[in-house]
Amino acid sequence: MNLSRLSLKGKKNATVEKNAASTSDYFSMDNFYYKQISELTGAGGWSVDFKNKKSFFDEQARNILNVPKDYKPTLNTGFNFYAEEHMDKATALFFDCAQGKSFSTHVKMRTYDGEIFWAKASGRPLRDNDKEIIGIRGVFQNIHEEKLREEQLEQSFRLIQGHNSRLYDFAHIISHNLRSQVGNLQMSAALFDSSNLSADQNELLQNFTKIGKSLDVTLRHLNKIVSVHSVASKTRDKVVIQDVYNRVVAGLLQTIRENKVVMYTDFSEVEEIPYIEAYLESILQNLITNAIRYKHPDRDPEISLYTYEENGKVHLLVKDNGLGIDLKKHGEELFKIYKTFHGNDDALGLGLFLTRNEVEAMGGEINVESKVGKGSKFIVTLD
């Protein structure tokens, strides 16, 4: 450029050119630092221009998404880089951002060739001088390994927490589950004279023997539980539900007779299930004992037990015609430890707590329907 020939206008133009050069240099440096930060953090950038209807991926974004060199992103195809289960979430965040709401979230994304990965993503609206939103700019970072480690740590924590809880509650399981059977043993022992057995006493002796065997099986199962490190599928044995029920009823036979309980069962739809036998025995015993304890004073207790399969899940239904419970008032407390609701002297508030603990340890759930004065229905999802 010949500076001697510049007029005032030329000087002005020269100043403009100088300023333009300075601006260009500024953006050059800005891009340099942007690229360095992008490479150091592994974050990819993207933008959408609403006015010109264009989308842009920077080099790091292209590397993360593994797109071809000649790939040109568009607004429509951009959503293809989100995992199907997070597509609705990503779409909602994008359109909220287009309305002026920035976002920062963890979301599942997918590469050009379909590999799913966790990403930390953020975006903010771009505005012109008139404050009108003209586009969106965002960044995302592959955090898949970090997310997997986080999930593994959470799983380990839950596992350890579950083990500690079950070990802590083991003493409660011993005292509660053996309470009815030990009581029956003492009652039976007091009712016969071994030196002079009558026919009735001989029947009681047989009952005593059955209870003793049931107690022995329960003790062995509980000893097995305490030695188990985890409730995994490999620890589950095929359990015949009728056999477990028969053993529970044998242990509660005296109580059932004294309270004139009528029992109905139908395990024909699902006869056996892979389960920890001691847990199933405890679940049945607790629910049956609970139904007897809270019987209605004006009628003989009736307890129905059924198994059925629904939506690929095995369910155990235990229904009674007892006192029932006000779920609106006590529903939140029903399965908590040491919570009782009817003022019974023999109630400890352990049965339903232990039942839920055992059911959930096996990956199932327990729900209840009840009407005051009508009775209760417990639905246990076993598998």
Query: What is the rounded distance in angstroms from the CA atom of residue 209 to the CA atom of residue 330?
Result: 40
| Number of domain units in the chain | 2
In this model, does residue 18 exceed pLDDT 70?
no
197 belongs to a structural domain? yes
Kindly give the pairing relationship between strand 302-310 and strand 262-266.
parallel
Assess contact for 325 and 347: CB atoms under 8 A. no
350 belongs to a structural domain? yes
Give the whole-number percent of the chain exceeding pLDDT 70.
69
Q: Kindly state the helix (H) or strand (E) to which residue 75 belongs, with its residue range.
A: helix 75-78
**Residue in this structure with the two tokens 């109905």, named with its chain if needed:** 264
Domain boundary (142, 159, 181) is at: 142
Burial of 294 per CB tally in 10 Å (0-12, 13-18, 19+): buried
Mean pLDDT of the chain: 78
Query: Angle at the Cα of 213 (from 207 to 215), degrees rounded to 5?
Result: 100
Residues 188 and 308 grouped into a single domain: yes
- Rounded to whole angstroms, what are the CA distances from 304 to 153, 189, 214, 339? 43, 30, 22, 25
Handedness of CA 378, 379, 381, 382 (dihedral sign): positive
Q: Summarize pLDDT for 274-306 with one digit per residue, the tens.
A: 998 888 998 999 999 989 988 998 999 999 999
Residues 113 and 173 grouped into a single domain: no
For 64, residues 6+ apart whose C-beta sits below 8 A from its C-beta are: 42, 44, 111, 140, 142
**Other CB atoms closer than 10 Å to residue 335's CB: what's the count?**
18
10 belongs to a structural domain? no
Residues 127 and 255 grouped into a single domain: no
Size of the chain in residues: 383
0.95 exceeded by pTM: no
Position with higher pLDDT, 181 vs 148: 148
Residues 67 and 175 grouped into a single domain: no
8 belongs to a structural domain? no
132 belongs to a structural domain? yes
Query: What is the rounded distance in angstroms from the CA atom of residue 369 to the CA atom of residue 371?
Result: 7
- Whichever domain contains 116, its CATH number is 3.30.450.20
Q: What is the pLDDT of residue 175?
A: 57
Residues 215 and 323 grouped into a single domain: yes
Q: What is the pLDDT of residue 243?
A: 96
164 belongs to a structural domain? no
- Whichever domain contains 239, its CATH number is 3.30.565.10
Find the domain containing 83 and state its range.
23-142
**Other CB atoms closer than 10 Å to residue 224's CB: what's the count?**
13
Q: What is the CA radius of gyration of the chain?
A: 35
Position with higher pLDDT, 122 vs 197: 122
Residues 223 and 311 grouped into a single domain: yes
